[in-house]
Structure 1
């Protein structure tokens, strides 16, 4: 009896479109290793706001009075905030201020950034979802508390509204802003490739990229055509629920890995894409 041989290139014949800016090459390499053809079209450009007056003002608001809880959503965002404060000469003051608060991490990367700053978290969400952090805060009560929420990508409007409804003062910290990519050509070409049926797999790793991918199509008169293609001809795979939010708002079918990790996303795509193409999904 012949032994079953694992297919090391399950994505042979598939073209994947990558909208990411950060780690696009890493994601593309993982997909290509499994046989996929890869097209790149960054959907956004990340701009740090180290000298941004709004971030400086937000930091000063945090420093104005004691804070009871600090939510770190991403490692790069939390670390960027501390670096920005240092650039403004307020780094050590901010760290001392945050040291007296309860620090809650959405996941391992946020926890690493907290520890890298010399602080210590009291809680890390087991599922790496902000819903767990929200449940913990609401369970222990936040009435009258000042809660700092470091945002990254999604504005987390619902999260913040729930805290305010429970009596908290919420202090949002925005560390990065997103703009259109410097070169719109690759993004426009990727949108066309999805509409034309060339791209069958769309891995998404950030909410801003997902949002601007759809928005760019609308601004250029291709919104309905793109949505039609995404509903019927493309396997959309989002790395986690935050990334999936703009996709879910459009009621587009999508899949998510059990863990919000790039490797888990690629494994999911390798498993699901052949079934999707056969119509088994």
Structure 2
């Protein structure tokens, strides 16, 4: 590890479970000390439930199909293909209104020959809800593609407007090891780490769910409001942090892990400049 890097020996937590070696190397090249605290639970596919929901979508006329992730949209078509109903599903999607969240989802739908009727402005669930607000949903059948976790805000928005919602939850997360959550909470409240890099929104939710269940939410929020920097890989993850009351969130315009680390470096450079000017 270089002692002259721009992260100045700071301890940077990686909350993800994928590409941790690559992220660790990026942090070390900038002089930081990577710490792996994976808050990304394992995933599994509830195949019987997915099969039932897909067959419902194919067998009933839908008014709307809402896609929230590119990976999930691809997995949806793959799951339908395994059942031999992918052609029927695609035809169903092409005959109803399509809403899309995020540029990856938009690109995936275009590759499938569909142009979304409604697109969010900023890649977030709240942005998608704003884009859907002018539309009527009373007695409309709406399929919502999900990936990894429910979207209660989006589903509630639709149901409050009278929609009949079919969530397509292709993957479900299994919670991370409680010992990892406890260790990270201890490190945060003791001031032993300088930043936490979140690579998915579910990592944020697991951390704060654990903190609330163990009466540590205020202490964790205080840590992020003080020494510790919350870093998000993109807009959806940043949105999850802000929903938890974390106001200072470092997030790159380009939703890439490398850009996230550079964003943290730039933040500390800017912070150092302010301190120098104050002196």
CA displacement at 1:224 relative to structure 2:
5.7
Q: Provide the aligned length of Structure 1 versus Structure 2.
A: 270
Whole-Å separation in 1 of the counterparts to 2:21 and 2:10:
17
Does residue 1:55 correspond to 2:50, yes or no? yes
Question: Which deviates more from structure 2 when the two are superposed, residues 206-215 or residues 19-28?
Answer: 19-28
Q: Are 2:214 and 1:211 equivalent residues in the alignment?
A: no
Instruction: Judge conservation of contact 2:121–2:128 (CA < 8 Å) in 1.
Output: no
Q: Distance in 2 between matches of 1:207 and 1:189?
A: 20
Cα deviation per residue 1:161-186 (whole Å; 9 max; x = unaligned)? 222333332221111111134x6665
Partner SS, residue 61 of structure 1: helix
The TM-score normalised by the length of structure 1 is 0.79
Contact 2:158 2:165 in 1 (8 A): yes
CA distance in 1, matches of 2:137, 2:131: 10
**Aligned in 2, Cα 1:134/1:249: closer, same or farther, shift over 3 Å?**
closer
Are 2:9 and 1:13 aligned?
Answer: yes
Measure, in 1, the Cα distance between the counterparts of 2:101 and 2:218: 35
Kept after mapping to 1: 8 A contact 2:17/2:38:
yes
The equivalences for 1:216-235 within 5 A come to: 216=210, 225-235=219-229
Distance 1:88 1:50, change over 3 A: farther
Structure 1: which 5+ runs fail to align?
1-7
The secondary structure found in structure 2 opposite 1:175 is strand
Say whether the 8 Å CA contact 1:95–1:119 is kept in structure 2.
no
1:270 aligned partner = 265
Does the aligned pair in 1 maintain the 2:53–2:168 contact within 8 Å? yes
In structure 2, the CA distance between the partners of 1:230 and 1:135, relative to structure 1 (3 Å rule), is: closer
Contact 1:39 1:190 in 2 (8 A): no
The answer to whether the Cα contact below 8 Å between 1:238 and 1:255 also exists between their aligned partners in 2 is yes
Report the counterpart of residue 167 of structure 1 in structure 2.
162
Q: Give me the whole-angstrom Cα distance separating, in 1, the residues matched to 2:147 and 2:271.
A: 31
5+ residue gaps, structure 2: none
Q: Distance in 2 between matches of 1:264 and 1:276?
A: 18
Residue 36 of structure 1 is matched in structure 2 by 32
What TM-score results when the alignment is normalised by the length of structure 2?
0.80
Measured against aligned partners, the alpha-carbon deviations of 1:24-69 in whole angstroms (never above 9, x if no partner) come to 3444343333332111111122313152x22222222322312222
Query: In structure 1, which of residues 33, 45, 69 is the aligned counterpart of residue 64 of structure 2?
Result: 69
Alignment of 1:1-281 (within 5 A): 9-49=5-45, 51=47, 53-116=48-111, 118-123=112-117, 124-153=119-148, 155-181=150-176, 188-216=182-210, 225-257=219-251, 259=253, 261-262=255-256, 263-275=258-270
Q: CA RMSD in A?
A: 3.1
